[in-house]
Amino acid sequence: MDAVVITDLYHGDLAPIMEIENCSFPSPWERETFIMTLEDPRCICYVARIDGLTIGYCLSLDMKHMLHVLNLAVHPEFRRRGVAKRLISEMIVCAKTRERIYVVLEVRPSNIPARLLYTSLGFLHVSTWNEYYTDTREDADVMVKKIEESAG
């Protein structure tokens, strides 16, 4: 696989992002939700590309002490190749740069690949929100990674 490049996500990226979103989730975000997120100055939005082809994205909200991952998806043809790991790793670097204490996210208990990824990156399960996902009434596991301070 060619090198994955992570850059900021812009309005011009919305068409391929919507395609990935629609094939990734039972209740995908609306285009307007992506636009509102992109226009919110508190949000950090990254896109993953290979040779200019958009293959994934990650959106987070920068809060006082943490980054909250709002949405993450990778095109089905590029899953299980380290793309999501690269995107989450970039968010962790961003959190560290902004001197945030935590990165927080929610994940469906049934999404075993995502849970394994987050655990491998140091996220811990801290809580469960009952019937969080309105589409399936599935719970959400809240996972948190504490950002380590740099030595020195």
Q: Strand, coil or helix: what is 32?
A: helix
* pLDDT the model gives residue 148: 81
Domain 5-146: give its CATH architecture.
Answer: 3-Layer(aba) Sandwich (3.40)
Please give the angle made by the CA atoms of 144, 108 and 96, to the nearest 5 degrees.
Answer: 25
Using an 8 Å Cβ cutoff, are 88 and 69 in contact? yes
| pLDDT values of the chain reduced to their tens digit, one per residue, 152 residues | 579 999 999 999 999 999 999 999 888 999 999 999 999 999 999 999 999 999 999 999 999 999 999 999 999 999 999 999 999 999 999 999 999 999 999 998 999 999 999 999 999 999 988 877 767 778 889 999 999 865 44
* Rounded Cα distance, 117 and 69, in Å: 14
List strand residue ranges (DSSP E) for 12-107, in order.
Answer: 43-50, 53-62, 66-74, 102-107
